[in-house]
Copies of this chain bind each other. A is one copy, B any other.
Amino acid sequence: MKVTFQIENAGPVIIDANPGDNLLELARRANVAIDAPCSGNGSCGKCRVKLLEGQLDTIPSRHISDEEFSEGWRLSCNCKVVGDVTVLVPDIASAYQSRMKTADLSSPQEVAIFTACQDSLKEAGIAFTNSCRAVTVTVAEPTLDDTMPDNERLTWALQEALGVDKVRIPYTVMTRLASTLRENGFTVCVKGMVEDDIFTCMDICAPDDRKIVGCAIDIGTTTVTMVLCDLETGELLAKGSSGNGQIRYGADVINRIIESSRTGGRKKLQDAIVKETLTPIIANLCKTAGISARSILRLCIGANTTMNHLLLGVDADPVRMEPYIPSFFSWEGLTAQDLKLPANPLAPILIAPNIGSYVGGDITAGTLAAGLWNCDEMRLFIDLGTNGELVFGNRDFLMSCACSAGPAFEGGDISCGMRATDGAIEAATIDADTMEPSFTVIGEPGQKVVGICGSGIIDIISELFRTGIINARGLFAREGSRVKRDQHGMGRYVLAAPEESETGREVAINEVDIDNFIRAKGAIFSAIETLLNSVDMTVDMIDTVYVAGGIGSGINMKNAVNIGMFPDVELEKFQYIGNSSLTGAYAMTVSDQAAAKCTEVAANMTYLELSTYPGYMDSFVAACFLPHTNAGLFPNCNRF
């Protein structure tokens, strides 16, 4: 029998199937992209397809309403094939594309964070210089009396201009040498890098094409963010982000590793990040910045250990299996041509070093940016990505750990969750009496609601709890026009009716969402508690809490404390520092010394494995309440 995937905005893909085949599995076999963050266990509700012709044997799902079911909507992971069938697949590629943003640079806060990081690193004695160079040289024009070949001619000119001992001209430059020299009257701009008194030519251009560019990339499990910067001045040239294309192979690192271990999986996962995600963003940013991809002479990646392995197409299975051995923590030697990224083929790709299977380069780069390695005070650094990672310490010691908080902070695992982009509720309050919400939506004035991002969820849950609408277990305790229940009695709080939303679908938060979020925040809190405990310290010894990650700058620290996510310390101690992985990667891109410092920081960081640490599970269970089973830990908590 035949299954036809009718892909939105594209043609049909037809695959042979046997009765009983799972529809999501078939889609993967046919290389049809279906968003499936939970990797097909029915929990996330994202792998929707619409039945157009034929029948499917379907397990009912709470994610599909009766009305939607009658319209043909199904979760592909819940469907078995029984005969010829045609389904419509929403176009996730174009969804990624439309979600890609390249105009974020205008945000003064973003720029301020970059500037602050740069300033604090400079204060710490880190020079913002690197080994890349653009140099314009005039080469002696050959005559019948001076028949030296082109490469020697260029070598002499570069030795003189740069004062270097040796010049290397790689193949990619050699093939363009003769014509570029002659097209430009023997005056050319040569781009390259100096190392150990050797200049390696990376590009040969017209004399006015002088820009040399760096590319800093944060590869999150859920979101990828990138900046292009001028390698001479450090100036930001363009910024963009998009969802990580691997998300259709699972929302978390474990599911992705499992997918990558299947036949052809490493290539698929690598293609999803390299070809489908990084390549279009880089191309887009080059266009925005008005530069050619060949001008990108250096890249730096801040990513967790698994993302780094999947990016390189390296076997990640040993990371997941006892004794949890990655192929590498730190590794030098990657170039853009290895991954076929649109950049100068010889451009080195620096990888911020990992320090454990679950504390990766995003955290070491973030620690670099957060300056823990250079402060006297005790600083707690919290990165809220798809996992939560923590680093605690100062210039004398650095302790780190990871907890599987899941993707809730980035809007994952939440029925109406989304990332902090246009249409997301990023902040909210609820009137205790009327139970009516007021909220802020990201975007232009008049932007209608699409969903709720991490900071919005914190606010809503905090407010629902403060106003007594939900209890300490996250179950609805008050009734009202905003509180609805489905046929199974599951409560939800409606923020926008279908007619008020951008998509025509209701935007609400339900008890399952709240439960997911309570487990996520409980993981974070218990990790903080355990990490401090491991060094015999308590929350009152923390001088500063740096919060980073995709949760967004809208995070209300008071509410985060209120729900027991962060420890109950003075609010002035909290500081949101944005995407610190990207900030660190940016510093490493522009500064050789910052890159070296990151390696040093990684070498000095101790990793605490929480899953085997005594007491962690008890601490986690105790934290899965609002704000905590031991309310005495949260004396300042606002509640009904």
One of B178, B312, B323, B333 near A318 (C-beta < 8 A)? B178
Please provide the chain A residues from 119 to 147 with a CB less than 8 Å away from any CB of chain B in the complex: 142-144, 146-147
Q: Is the CB of A144 within 8 A of B327?
A: no
State whether the Cβ of A434 lies closer than 8 Å to any Cβ in chain B: no
CB neighbours (8 Å) of A171 from chain B are 312, 333-335, 338
Closest to A171 in B: B338
State whether the Cβ of A232 lies closer than 8 Å to any Cβ in chain B: no
State whether the Cβ of A511 lies closer than 8 Å to any Cβ in chain B: no
Q: How far is the CA of A447 from the CA of B151 in the complex (A)?
A: 50
State whether the Cβ of A328 lies closer than 8 Å to any Cβ in chain B: yes
Given contacts A150-B318, A315-B179, A333-B169, contact A174 B323 (CB under 8 A): no
Q: How far is the CA of A312 from the CA of B314 in the complex (A)?
A: 31
CB neighbours (8 Å) of A16 from chain B are none
Q: How far is the CA of A534 from the CA of B151 in the complex (A)?
A: 30
State whether the Cβ of A165 lies closer than 8 Å to any Cβ in chain B: no
CB distance from A406 to the nearest CB of B (A): 25
One of B150, B177, B326 near A150 (C-beta < 8 A)? B326
Given contacts A328-B149, A328-B174, contact A144 B312 (CB under 8 A): no
CB distance from A324 to the nearest CB of B (A): 6
State whether the Cβ of A35 lies closer than 8 Å to any Cβ in chain B: no
Q: How far is the CA of A385 from the CA of B314 in the complex (A)?
A: 48
State whether the Cβ of A389 lies closer than 8 Å to any Cβ in chain B: no
Q: How far is the CA of A335 from the CA of B317 in the complex (A)?
A: 32
One of B149, B312, B324 near A174 (C-beta < 8 A)? B312
Q: How far is the CA of A371 from the CA of B356 in the complex (A)?
A: 58
Interface string of A147-187 (1 = CB under 8 A from B): 11111100000000000000011111011011100100000
One of B177, B178, B326, B329 near A317 (C-beta < 8 A)? B178
Q: Is the CB of B178 within 8 A of A312?
A: no
Q: Is the CB of A177 within 8 A of B327?
A: yes
The interface on chain A, measured as residues whose beta carbon lies within 8 A of the other chain's beta carbons, has a size of: 43
State whether the Cβ of A313 lies closer than 8 Å to any Cβ in chain B: yes
Q: Is the CB of A314 within 8 A of B178?
A: yes
Assembly stoichiometry (copies): 2
Interface of A is mostly: loop
State whether the Cβ of A444 lies closer than 8 Å to any Cβ in chain B: no
Given contacts A169-B331, A174-B312, A317-B178, contact A325 B151 (CB under 8 A): no
Closest to A324 in B: B147
One of B152, B328, B357 near A151 (C-beta < 8 A)? B328
Closest to A153 in B: B325
Closest to A200 in B: B333
CB distance from A132 to the nearest CB of B (A): 19
Q: Is the CB of B175 within 8 A of A323?
A: no
One of B142, B169, B324, B326 near A325 (C-beta < 8 A)? B142
Q: Is the CB of A331 within 8 A of B174?
A: yes
State whether the Cβ of A208 lies closer than 8 Å to any Cβ in chain B: no
Q: Is the CB of B315 within 8 A of A143?
A: no
CB distance from A610 to the nearest CB of B (A): 15
State whether the Cβ of A322 lies closer than 8 Å to any Cβ in chain B: yes
CB neighbours (8 Å) of A170 from chain B are 333
CB distance from A41 to the nearest CB of B (A): 27
Q: How far is the CA of A177 from the CA of B309 in the complex (A)?
A: 12
Please provide the chain A residues from 316 to 352 with a CB less than 8 Å away from any CB of chain B in the complex: 317-318, 322-329, 331-335, 338
Task: Give chain A's interface residues, CB within 8 Å of chain B.
Answer: 142-144, 146-152, 168-172, 174-175, 177-179, 182, 312-315, 317-318, 322-329, 331-335, 338, 356-357
Could you write out 15 A-B pairs with CB less than 8 Å apart? A144-B322, A144-B324, A149-B325, A149-B328, A150-B328, A151-B328, A168-B333, A169-B333, A171-B335, A174-B314, A174-B327, A174-B328, A177-B315, A178-B314, A178-B318
